[in-house]
C-alpha cells in the first residue's frame, strides 16, 4: 500500500521514522512519501519537503509567513492527487495538517492522525472538525483519551508515547566526553534551545549569560537535527558554550542538569533522569496573543502529565539570565535533585509501556485493509 506522511518538526520526523519502520513490518510492499526530515528519509521514504523549511514559531511568525504556508498547502494537495495514497498519516503539526485533512476527506482519502493536535491547550473547537474529517486518531498522552472520549464523545486510540520505545534502547556512548574535550570530573549542563531558528536565536543569548556566571560548569548546546550551524555560530565563538551536533541523547546521558526550551525535549530530558529548568521566550506579540488563547497551568509536558509543578518553568519576562542563575544551583542541590528525580519515576509510570509505533502501525494497516 501507499502511505503519505505529513510532519512539520524535528520530533515529528523522529516519530514518523519509527512509524515507517513499524509499518514496513506490517506491510512488505509499503511505499512511503513524506513531509519530514532526514530520519524519515533514512527509512526509504521519498522526502517531499524538509521540516526545517516549514517550522515557524509563534503567532506573529506564522502570520508573517502566510504566503509561504498557503503555497505549501496548495503544493501538498497537488502532490496528494498525483500520488493517490491509500492513507494519509498526519503527525502533529495541526495548523497545516487539519487544513489538508478537511480537503482530503472531501477527495475521498483516508485520514489517520498520529500524535494528536494539542486541542486541550487551545483551539478546542478544532475537535468538531477532527470528528468529521478523521477516520482515526492516535493519542500518546494519558490525559488525552478521557479528554476526547468523555468530554467530546470522540473515540480515540491511546497508544502510549513513542519516546518510551526510543530512549531505553539508546546505547551508552562511553567516548562522548573525551570526543568533545569535556572533563569527566566537571559537571555538564545540557542546553536544549529548541529546533527552530527563532527559538535558538531567542534563547541562546540568555543561556550564554548564564554560562558566564558559572565558570566551573561545562555548558554544552545540543544542535538539533536538520539545524544549520550558522544559527548557533554567533553565540559560540569566544564563549564558554560548547556545541554538539545531533547528539542530544548522548549529551543527556552525561548531563548533570539541563536548561530546556519547552517542547518534546522536556519529556526527553525527564526520561533520561536529568533535572531541568524549562525556559521559553517568543516575540512580544506572539506571547501577548498566546496569553489570551492558551489557559493551561503549565507549558512543559512533564508538568502537564503530572498535573503539578515538578520542573521550574521560566516563561517570557521571567526567562532572564538572572532568574536562571538563581534556579540553577537548586538543580545541583542533592535534596532538590532527589525530589525532581522521584517525580520523574511517577511520570514514567504514567506513560504507557506499549510500543506506540508498532501499535499504531498495526491499527492503521488493519483499518485500511478492512476498508479496502
Q: Could you read off the pLDDT of 304-357 as tens digits, one per residue?
A: 999 999 999 998 889 899 999 999 999 999 999 999 999 999 999 888 777 999
CA–CA separation, 98 and 84 (whole Å): 18
* Grid cell digits, residue 51: 521540516
* pLDDT value for 293: 45
* pLDDT value for 255: 97
Average pLDDT over residues 177-199: 91
> What 3-state DSSP class applies to 159?
coil
Are 110 and 233 found together in one domain? no
Max CA pair span of the chain: 63
111 falls within a domain: yes
φ and ψ at residue 211, rounded to 5 degrees: -60, -40
CA–CA separation, 23 and 17 (whole Å): 10
Residue 167 makes CB contacts below 8 A (sequence gap 6+) with 249, 268, 271, 272
* pLDDT value for 241: 92
Are 57 and 100 found together in one domain? yes
* pLDDT value for 288: 39
CA–CA separation, 4 and 346 (whole Å): 36
**Has residue 157 got a pLDDT over 90?**
yes
167 falls within a domain: no
Are 323 and 363 found together in one domain? no
Are 133 and 238 found together in one domain? no
Q: What does the mean pLDDT of the chain come to?
A: 89
The CATH number of the domain where 326 resides is what? 3.40.50.2000
Q: For 13-46, how does the pLDDT look when each residue is reduced to its tens digit (9 = 90+)?
A: 999 999 999 999 999 999 999 999 999 999 999 9
Helix or strand run (H / E) with residue 157:
strand 157-158
Length of the chain: 372
169 falls within a domain: no
CA–CA separation, 80 and 67 (whole Å): 20
Q: Which of 4-8, 117-121, 274-278, 311-315 has the lowest mean pLDDT?
A: 117-121
CA–CA separation, 146 and 232 (whole Å): 41
Roughly how many angstroms between the first and final C-alpha of the chain, as a whole number? 10
Q: 282: burial class by Cβ within 10 Å (0-12, 13-18, 19+)?
A: buried
The number of folded domains in the chain is 2
Q: In whole angstroms, how large is the CA radius of gyration of the chain?
A: 21
Q: Are 360 and 138 in contact (CB under 8 A)?
A: yes
121 falls within a domain: yes
- Helix spans in the chain (H): 10-26, 38-42, 59-64, 66-83, 94-107, 126-133, 144-146, 152, 163-166, 176-179, 197-213, 229-236, 248-254, 264-271, 284-293, 301-306, 321-332, 334-350, 356-371
* pLDDT value for 370: 83
Are 340 and 359 found together in one domain? no
| Cα 96 to the center of its chain, rounded Å | 16
Q: Which of 33-37, 56-60, 297-301, 366-370 has the lowest mean pLDDT?
A: 56-60
Are 365 and 236 found together in one domain? no
Are 343 and 366 found together in one domain? no
Average pLDDT over residues 363-371: 91
168 falls within a domain: no
Strand partners, 223: 245
φ and ψ at residue 23, rounded to 5 degrees: -65, -35
Task: Name the strands in the sheet holding 188-192, side by side, starting at the edge strand that comes first in the sequence.
Answer: 241-245, 218-223, 188-192, 257-261, 276-280, 312-315
CA–CA separation, 19 and 187 (whole Å): 36
166 falls within a domain: no
Are 125 and 210 found together in one domain? no
Q: Are 115 and 91 in contact (CB under 8 A)?
A: yes
Are 182 and 305 found together in one domain? yes
Are 21 and 108 found together in one domain? yes
- Domain extent for 249: 176-350
Are 197 and 344 found together in one domain? yes
Burial code (b: 16+ CB inside 10 Å, e: under 16) for 219-252 equals bbbbbbbbbeeebbeebeeebebbbbeebbbbbb
* Pairing verdict, β 276-280 and 257-261: parallel
Are 252 and 295 found together in one domain? yes
Amino acid at each position: 500500500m501507499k502511505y503519505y506522511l505529513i510532519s512539520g518538526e524535528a520530533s515529528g520526523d523522529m516519530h514518523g521514522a519509527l512509524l515507517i519502520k513499524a509499518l514496513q513490518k506490517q506491510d512488505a510492499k509499503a511505499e512511503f512519501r513524506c513531509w519530514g526530515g532526514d530520519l524519515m528519509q533514512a527509512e526509504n521514504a521519498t522526502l517531499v519537503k524538509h521540516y526545517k523549511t516549514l517550522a515557524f514559531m509563534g503567532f506573529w511568525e506564522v502570520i508573517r509567513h502566510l504566503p509561504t504556508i498557503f503555497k505549501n498547502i496548495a503544493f501538498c494537495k497537488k502532490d496528494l492527487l498525483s500520488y493517490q495514497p491509500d492513507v494519509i498519516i498526519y503527525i502533529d503539526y495541526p495548523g497545516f495538517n487539519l487544513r489538508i485533512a478537511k480537503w482530503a476527506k472531501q477527495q475521498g482519502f483516508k485520514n489517520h492522525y498520529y500524535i494528536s493536535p494539542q486541542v486541550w491547550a487551545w483551539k478546542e473547537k478544532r475537535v468538531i472538525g477532527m470528528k468529521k474529517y478523521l477516520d482515526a486518531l492516535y493519542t500518546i498522552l494519558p490525559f488525552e483519551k478521557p479528554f476526547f472520549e468523555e468530554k467530546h464523545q470522540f473515540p480515540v486510540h491511546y497508544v502510549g508515547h513513542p519516546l518510551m520505545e526510543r530512549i531505553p534502547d539508546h546505547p551508552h556512548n562511553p567516548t562522548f566526553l573525551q570526543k568533545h574535550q569535556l572533563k569527566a570530573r566537571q559537571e555538564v549542563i545540557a542546553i536544549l534551545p529548541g529546533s527552530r531558528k527563532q527559538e535558538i536565536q531567542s534563547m541562546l543569548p540568555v543561556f550564554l549569560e548564564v554560562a558566564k556566571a558559572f565558570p566551573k560548569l561545562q555548558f554544552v548546546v545540543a544542535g538539533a537535527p536538520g539545524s544549520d550551524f550558522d544559527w548557533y555560530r554567533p553565540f559560540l565563538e569566544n564563549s564558554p558554550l560548547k556545541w554538539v551536533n545531533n547528539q542530544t541523547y548522548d549529551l543527556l546521558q552525561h548531563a548533570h542538569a539541563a536548561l530546556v526550551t519547552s517542547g518534546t525535549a522536556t519529556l526527553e530530558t525527564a526520561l533520561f533522569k536529568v533535572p531541568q529548568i524549562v525556559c521559553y521566550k517568543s516575540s512580544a506579540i506572539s506571547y501577548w496573543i498566546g496569553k489570551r488563547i492558551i489557559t493551561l497551568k503549565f507549558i512543559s509536558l512533564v508538568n502537564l502529565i503530572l498535573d503539578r509543578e515538578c520542573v521550574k518553568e521560566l516563561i517570557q519576562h521571567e526567562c532572564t539570565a538572572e532568574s536562571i542563575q538563581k534556579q540553577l544551583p537548586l538543580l545541583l542541590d542533592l535534596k532538590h535533585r532527589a525530589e525532581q528525580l522521584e517525580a520523574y519515576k511517577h511520570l514514567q509510570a504514567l506513560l504507557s509501556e506499549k510500543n506506540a509505533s508498532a501499535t499504531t502501525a498495526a491499527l492503521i494497516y488493519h483499518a485500511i485493509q478492512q476498508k479496502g
